[in-house]
A and B are shown apart, each in its own frame.
Chain A
Amino acid sequence: MGVIVLGNPWGLLGLLGVPAILAIHLLQRRAVIVPASTLFLLEQCARESEGGNRVERLRNSLSLWLQLLAVLTLTWLLTQPRRVAEHAVRRVAVVVDGSASMRAAKPRLLESLPRDLETLSTIAVRTEYFLIDSRSREERLYHGMDLAELRRALEAWTPSAGAHDPAPALQLARGLAGNEGLALYVTDHAQEIPPFGARLYACGAPVENAGIAGVSVEEADGRMVWRAVLRNYGKQPQTRWWSVESGTLKTAPVSVTLPPGAVKQVSAPFPDGVSELTLTLSPGDAFDLDDRAAVLRPRPKTVRVSPPPEEAARPPEERLVTAMFSSLPGVALTANDAEADLLARRFNALNPELPPKPACLFVYGDSDPAAGPAPLMTGAVLVERHPLTDGLNWQSLLCRESVSIPPLKSDEPLVWQGNRALVFLRGPERERRLCFNFDFPGSNARRLPATIVTLHRFLEETRRGMIAEEHLLAECGQALNPVADTGADAPPLTVVTEFASGKKLERLLPVSQAGLTRAPDEPGFLEVRQGDRLLLRAAAHFADVREADFSKAETRADLREARAAETLKRHTSEDAAWRAWVLVLLALIGAGWWFISRPEERRRKNASVPGPVSVS
């Protein structure tokens, strides 16, 4: 036996028929004029009847009860009673947009969401809530049936991510809510209909925001200079004051006025002896993430390259490979192969053994002046899709016939000409070799941008795999991927986060999870150490202009079909006995009509055949 709930509570207004009928029964009988010759007898036994009543005392009559029952039955039908399954549970999965712009909308969200969820719930159907951050599929902010607890979870929740795709979280929400449940996407920007049948719940509002839109550090005139871009996203001009802090040092605030939509740059050199600082903008809006930025002197990992030993004996203008690597940033040349991170080598056909480290291998053609230059290779140049060659143009490469590196099945060709892989990768990832399998000096490869870019990309790959200290400027939430020692005895990583607000967090991270390290979601510094070794120090600033722009934020909730009435329809079935109730109603109306018309008939009958009354 399931619980009965009312599908249409407005039907209870039908109960107004009860007082209406009572009033009719109280007032309906106008006093009829009756001739009487025995009033003196009536007076003897009924002093209380004197004067009569405007409102008649309610009399217990069958017609009254029939009419009341008819009204109650009609009310019952109007309320559309529905039967609820005994264990019916409605699931509501709420995905809250974890993007930073939600910080400004959070007070409104805390006020409106629990209230609106309350309106979605019904008495009969229990509601199970899931609260999910759109940034994370794994963690649920709340799971339970208590809206107060859900509100507390929302209060503790801090949105700080950049723009991201909520689809995975919405897919999870749909899975948790099921087909009958409600998946709600809570954000601050009204946008297209969310995927997976989720309903949109936008609670944003335009904010006159101005803040730091980006930070960079570069060398100018021999000094390291930081530059910050300030932007006014609003429609009103704003005047702010910026200042720089570093330890106990703090500069005087400098005023800057930003017209609507304007972008301005502020810059200053790093003070002497200062490598890290915090740029602060005076607060003036509801969005505080872009009012501070952590800045440091970036110091990328240096890749030590060992150029081919053969070039050392050549005059500098013939040191092709050395010249190429020395032109690349973050590269230091070394003659010590042991300490080199990357070896640049000339392919020796007589000794085809590959270097034991990451290396760049170049083929040199046989220079036989008597024979003249070797013929140019013909055939179409084809480029494989690969990160190293993505977007590069190799079509203008001209190279001559020469010896070639014997191909292996495990090679990963990048550029082809005919059947010859001109550029390919060989070896496992940590010891990968980039092979230029054509007469490098005899080709125009040195002058091709594709060659330099490919080398640069290969160096970056090598740099990423190096365990070395690195200082970098990062955006909030940016993946940092510090490279750590993954040996069996390697200690875990210690991640220390110093927020610009002064808050400091320290946590240990297993080495296996080093790749998950991200810059803090709020402006600040992050340091990753492995034991005593500093692996990474990063300064994070908020630079997601999409999140900082609130001009399109608005409030809109699409909950029409998710209201309680719809929920009831989904989780309940109509009362199968409604037809019987209709018949009962008709019977009551018919019987009531018959009893109403009957007294007149009876009165007439009594008047025509009165019997004598014996008083003896």
Chain B
Amino acid sequence: MTFAKPEESAVRAAHGRARAWAGMFRLPLRNRVWRGMSGDFAGKGAGSSLDFQDHRAYMPGDDPRHINWQAYARTGNYTMKLFREEVRPLVDVALDVSPSMFFDAEKAARAAELFAFALEGAQRAGAIPRTWLCGGGEAVLIPVEAALSGAWPSMIPDSGGDWSADGRKPEKGAPPPPVRPALERVAWRAQALRVVVSDLLFPGAPEETAGLLSARDGRGLVLCPYSPKEAAPDWDGNVDFHDVETGGRYPRRVDPPLLTRYRAAYARHFELWKAAARRHGVALARVPSNGDFAKALQLEALPTGAVEPWA
């Protein structure tokens, strides 16, 4: 059994589907102000949009086209009309490329779809995206063009691990914990929408990651693909687990009580993530890998505001 990186053809196919869904759903960029180059979204400062924002006294150097002449007629003072600035928001998209993201074909496809959807969504909104691949303890900035073309699998940093289970002997002891995606190594831009596509299947404090996404006036959004085989496995009896993170074999005996406890632990793991996300204003939506993409988004992503339907 071998866990391979997603093939570019499959990724391109996922991008094709995501492009279509980007016409149905959009990223949550409308409900806050952004900083950036002029664009279509309300900026934090005064700009040249048609949206009136405020008045203030004239200061030398102000554009005389924005002097409120009616007010000058009434008061004799130069008063400036301030209009809302329209900017192109910044969107940083980070894809967790740890092996668990490609646990099976469905999950790999769903991860690629979410990554492409985030990228397409940013493109459609006129945002300025940046794309990162996080894996193997590294964060690699890849060109947006490469991401859009589906060529990113070849840019996944090599973790040095052997994913193949063939010929490997069962390991004794506990498997090493999965390596956290190096989100801290991503150069998150200030006041940017920070989209992370990750299954969050790694131990550690969610608080840290959620804080990272909301730092520097950023807005965090986590799209979390998951496989039902992870959420509700049918393990029964002696199972030779092949750890997708390390490629190691770990024989375990699973009985129904243990399976019940596992499911509870799985649920608790994401409860902690969601609680941390709420505290930091990060939108977190789990997206099942099976079924239609739109239906998958309707389960959590739409209710939680992680994505929005086009009006």
The answer to whether A35 touches B266 (Cβ under 8 A) is no
B241: interface (CB < 8 Å): yes
B146: interface (CB < 8 Å): no
Nearest A-chain residue to B286, judged by Cβ = A615
A409: interface (CB < 8 Å): no
The answer to whether A52 touches B271 (Cβ under 8 A) is no
Residue picked from A34, A57, A611, most chain B C-beta under 10 Å: A34
Q: Complex formed: what's the CA distance from A163 to B199 in Å?
A: 106
Which of B14-22, B43-51, B77-85, B245-253 lines the interface with chain A?
A: B245-253
Residue picked from B3, B255, B264, most chain A C-beta under 10 Å: B255
Instruction: Tally A residues with Cβ within 8 Å of B.
Output: 35
A580: interface (CB < 8 Å): no
Nearest CB in chain A: distance from B102 CB, A: 9
30 interchain pairs, CB-CB under 8 A: A29-B238, A31-B237, A31-B239, A33-B165, A33-B241, A34-B239, A35-B104, A35-B165, A35-B242, A36-B233, A36-B243, A37-B245, A38-B201, A38-B262, A38-B266, A40-B175, A41-B266, A42-B262, A43-B174, A46-B252, A46-B262, A50-B174, A52-B238, A52-B252, A56-B237, A603-B234, A610-B229, A611-B232, A613-B266, A615-B271
Residues in chain B near residue A603, CB distance under 8 A? 234
Q: Complex formed: what's the CA distance from A45 to B235 in Å?
A: 15
B265: interface (CB < 8 Å): yes
Nearest CB in chain B: distance from A310 CB, A: 129
Nearest A-chain residue to B300, judged by Cβ = A616
Question: Assuming A51-B251, A52-B239, is B262 touching A37 (CB within 8 A)?
Answer: no
The answer to whether B262 touches A41 (Cβ under 8 A) is yes
Residues in chain B near residue A610, CB distance under 8 A? 228-229, 232, 290
The answer to whether A613 touches B228 (Cβ under 8 A) is yes
The answer to whether B177 touches A37 (Cβ under 8 A) is no
Q: Complex formed: what's the CA distance from A39 to B265 in Å?
A: 11
Residues in chain A near residue B177, CB distance under 8 A? 40
The answer to whether B241 touches A59 (Cβ under 8 A) is no
A30: interface (CB < 8 Å): yes
A32: interface (CB < 8 Å): yes
A606: interface (CB < 8 Å): yes
B270: interface (CB < 8 Å): yes
Nearest CB in chain A: distance from B38 CB, A: 39
The answer to whether A37 touches B261 (Cβ under 8 A) is no
B121: interface (CB < 8 Å): no
B178: interface (CB < 8 Å): yes
Q: Complex formed: what's the CA distance from A133 to B274 in Å?
A: 101
A612: interface (CB < 8 Å): yes
Residues in chain A near residue B65, CB distance under 8 A? none
The answer to whether B242 touches A36 (Cβ under 8 A) is yes
Nearest A-chain residue to B267, judged by Cβ = A615
Residue from A29, A35, A43 within 8 A of B244 (CB atoms): A35
B115: interface (CB < 8 Å): no
B294: interface (CB < 8 Å): no
The answer to whether B266 touches A40 (Cβ under 8 A) is no
The answer to whether B261 touches A612 (Cβ under 8 A) is no
Nearest 9 A/B pairs, CB to CB: A610-B228, A613-B231, A37-B100, A52-B251, A31-B238, A45-B261, A31-B240, A615-B267, A615-B270
Contact with B along A504-544 (1 / 0, CB 8 A): 00000000000000000000000000000000000000000
A327: interface (CB < 8 Å): no
Nearest CB in chain B: distance from A60 CB, A: 10
The answer to whether B241 touches A613 (Cβ under 8 A) is no
Q: Complex formed: what's the CA distance from A59 to B201 in Å?
A: 31
The answer to whether A606 touches B262 (Cβ under 8 A) is no
Q: Complex formed: what's the CA distance from A34 to B253 in Å?
A: 12
Residues in chain A near residue B249, CB distance under 8 A? 33
Question: Assuming A37-B199, A39-B243, is B252 touching A611 (CB within 8 A)?
Answer: no
B205: interface (CB < 8 Å): no
Q: In chain A between 379 and 426, which residues have their CB closer than 8 angstroms to a CB of chain B?
A: none
* A-B contact sample (15 more), CB < 8 A, given A46-B254, A49-B258, A50-B252: A29-B236, A31-B239, A33-B249, A37-B99, A37-B245, A39-B250, A40-B177, A40-B201, A43-B174, A43-B175, A45-B261, A46-B258, A52-B252, A612-B299, A615-B231
The answer to whether A37 touches B234 (Cβ under 8 A) is no
Q: Complex formed: what's the CA distance from A34 to B230 in Å?
A: 11
Nearest CB in chain B: distance from A575 CB, A: 39
The answer to whether A29 touches B266 (Cβ under 8 A) is no
Q: Complex formed: what's the CA distance from A244 to B41 in Å?
A: 151
Q: Complex formed: what's the CA distance from A153 to B26 in Å?
A: 110
Nearest CB in chain B: distance from A613 CB, A: 4
Residue from A40, A59, A611 within 8 A of B202 (CB atoms): A40
The answer to whether A39 touches B266 (Cβ under 8 A) is no
Contact with B along A577-616 (1 / 0, CB 8 A): 0000000000000000000000000010011001111011
Q: In chain B between 1 and 60, which residues have their CB closer than 8 angstroms to a CB of chain A?
A: 1, 3
Residue from B236, B252, B266 within 8 A of A615 (CB atoms): B266
Residues in chain B near residue A53, CB distance under 8 A? 238, 253
The answer to whether A35 touches B1 (Cβ under 8 A) is yes
B269: interface (CB < 8 Å): yes
Nearest CB in chain A: distance from B85 CB, A: 37
Q: Complex formed: what's the CA distance from A35 to B172 in Å?
A: 17
B160: interface (CB < 8 Å): no
Residue from A30, A34, A56, A612 within 8 A of B241 (CB atoms): A34
Nearest A-chain residue to B250, judged by Cβ = A39
B203: interface (CB < 8 Å): yes
A251: interface (CB < 8 Å): no
Residues in chain B near residue A351, CB distance under 8 A? none
Nearest A-chain residue to B203, judged by Cβ = A40
